[in-house]
Amino acid sequence: MINYDDEKLAICLCEDCPTYLKPLFPKRDGVFCAVGKVKEISYKKGCLCKMCPLYSDYGLRGSFFCIEGPAD
């Protein structure tokens, strides 16, 4: 399991992801592998989870954490 903090947010790729459109969800920062899904997102336009440094650093599995929920 991964915990949310400012250090992880600084290297998180969520902000650049084609599925997560920050202007539409300005109160959500990212690190969805830790905090889980954004209920307003219901479409998949691509995923950067597996390219994120947090993914390999924490041995995460899966993708689309902003839709599917946090990593185990």
pLDDT for the residue numbered 54: 96
Is 1 part of a structural domain of the chain? no
Query: What is the reported pLDDT for 21?
Result: 78
User: pTM of the predicted model, to two decimals?
Assistant: 0.87
Please indicate, yes or no, if residue 64 is contained in any of the structural domains.
yes
Q: Which domain holds residue 54?
A: 6-68
Q: What per-residue string of b and e applies to 13-38 under the rule 16 or more CB within 10 Å gives b?
A: bbeebebbeeeeeeebebbbbbbbbb
Q: What is the pLDDT along the chain (72 residues), one digit of tens a residue?
A: 788 999 999 999 998 999 987 767 666 788 999 998 888 888 899 999 999 999 999 999 999 999 999 998
The pLDDT score that the predictor gives to residue 20 is: 86
In one-letter notation, the amino acid at residue 43 is Y
Give the number of domains in the chain.
Answer: 1
